[in-house]
C-alpha cells in the first residue's frame, strides 16, 4: 500500500528490511547497541562486522534516541539505530518513547540529507509493544513529520515481517487518513 502525503510517499510492504535499498534502514536496537535477536540480529548478520565496530565506538543509545552508522554489506547506505521502549503496561512513558524513537530517526535522516528511509515495526517483537497501538503511534508520528517537513523525504517505508503486521499497519493507516480528512 502506497500513499502520498505532503510530498512524501508513505509505503507499507511485507518483507525483510535487510534487503531494502533506501538511503537508510532503521534498526530496532537495544540501548547498549550490542546486537541481539530479531531485526537487530538480521541486520548485523547481513551487514557484516563493520556495523558492529561502529556501534562499539559509539558505545550506546538512550531509549527514544537514534544514532547512525554506515551499512556495511547492505544495499542501504546507512543504518539508523534507534531504541524503542520495553512495553510494561503502557503507563511507563511507552507511547512517548516510541514516538520519540521514530521522530529521532527521521530527524537524523534529515540532518544527513537522506531522501528515503525504511522502518521495521519498532518494539513490537521482543519488547512486547502491542502491534495495533504501536502502529498508530508509528504512523501518526510519520504523518505529523511529513506535515512539518513537506517533501523533505521522498519515501518513508515500513517493512513488515508478517502478514499480520502488514494488515495491522494497513488498517491503522486507513483509519488515520480517514480521521485526518474529516478534521481537515
Hey, which residues are catalytic here?
A: 40
Interatomic CA distance for residues 139 and 38, integer angstroms: 21
Q: Is the dihedral of CA 148, 27, 97, 59 positive or negative?
A: negative
C-beta of 97 vs 114, nearer to ligand ADP:
97
| Closest CB 168 distance from ligand ADP, rounded Å | 10
**165 sits near ligand ADP (criterion: CB under 6 A):** yes
**Which region among 59-67, 91-99, 114-122, 141-149 touches ligand ADP (by CB under 6 A)?**
114-122
**82 sits near ligand ADP (criterion: CB under 6 A):** no
| Closest CB 11 distance from ligand ADP, rounded Å | 14
**122 sits near ligand ADP (criterion: CB under 6 A):** yes
Counting Cα atoms < 13 Å in the Cβ hemisphere of 72 gives 19
- 153: how many CB neighbours lie within 10 A of its CB? 25
C-beta of 16 vs 171, nearer to ligand ADP:
16
Sheet harboring 8-14: ordered strands across?
Answer: 2-5, 8-14, 155-160, 116-119, 24-28, 78-82, 66-70
Interatomic CA distance for residues 87 and 125, integer angstroms: 10
Interatomic CA distance for residues 153 and 107, integer angstroms: 10
Closest CA relative to residue 141, chosen from 149, 131, 151, 130:
149
Q: Cβ neighbours of residue 137 under 8 Å, at least 6 residues apart? A: 95, 98, 99, 102
**100 sits near ligand ADP (criterion: CB under 6 A):** no
**Which region among 63-71, 103-111, 116-124, 173-181 touches ligand ADP (by CB under 6 A)?**
116-124
**Which region among 33-41, 69-77, 139-147, 175-183 touches ligand ADP (by CB under 6 A)?**
33-41
Give the residue, chosen from 2, 3, 16, 148, that forms a contact with ligand ADP under the rule CB under 6 A.
Answer: 16
**124 sits near ligand ADP (criterion: CB under 6 A):** yes
Q: Which residues bind ligand ADP (CB under 6 A)?
A: 16-18, 28, 38-40, 42, 84, 120-127, 159, 161-162, 165
Amino acid at each position: 500500500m502506497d500513499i502520498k502525503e505532503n510530498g512524501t510517499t508513505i509505503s507499507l510492504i511485507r518483507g525483510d528490511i535487510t534487503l531494502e535499498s533506501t538511503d537508510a534502514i532503521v534498526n530496532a536496537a537495544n540501548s547498549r547497541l550490542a546486537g541481539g535477536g530479531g531485526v537487530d540480529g538480521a541486520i548485523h548478520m547481513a551487514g557484516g562486522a563493520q556495523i558492529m565496530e561502529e556501534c562499539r565506538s559509539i558505545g550506546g543509545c538512550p531509549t527514544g534516541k537514534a544514532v547512525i552508522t554506515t551499512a556495511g554489506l547492505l544495499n542501504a547506505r546507512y543504518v539508523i539505530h534507534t531504541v524503542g521502549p520495553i512495553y510494561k503496561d503502557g503507563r511507563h512513558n511507552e507511547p512517548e518513547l516510541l514516538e520519540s524513537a521514530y521522530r529521532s530517526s527521521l530527524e537524523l535522516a534529515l540532518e544527513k540529507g537522506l531522501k528515503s528511509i525504511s522502518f521495521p515495526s519498532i518494539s513490537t517483537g521482543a519488547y512486547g509493544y502491542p502491534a495495533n497501538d504501536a502502529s498508530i503511534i508509528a504512523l501518526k508520528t510519520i504523518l505529523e513529520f511529513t506535515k512539518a517537513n513537506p517533501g523533505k523525504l521522498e519515501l518513508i517505508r515500513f517493512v513488515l515481517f508478517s502478514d499480520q503486521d502488514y494488515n495491522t499497519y494497513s488498517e491503522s493507516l486507513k483509519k488515520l487518513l480517514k480521521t485526518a480528512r474529516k478534521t481537515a
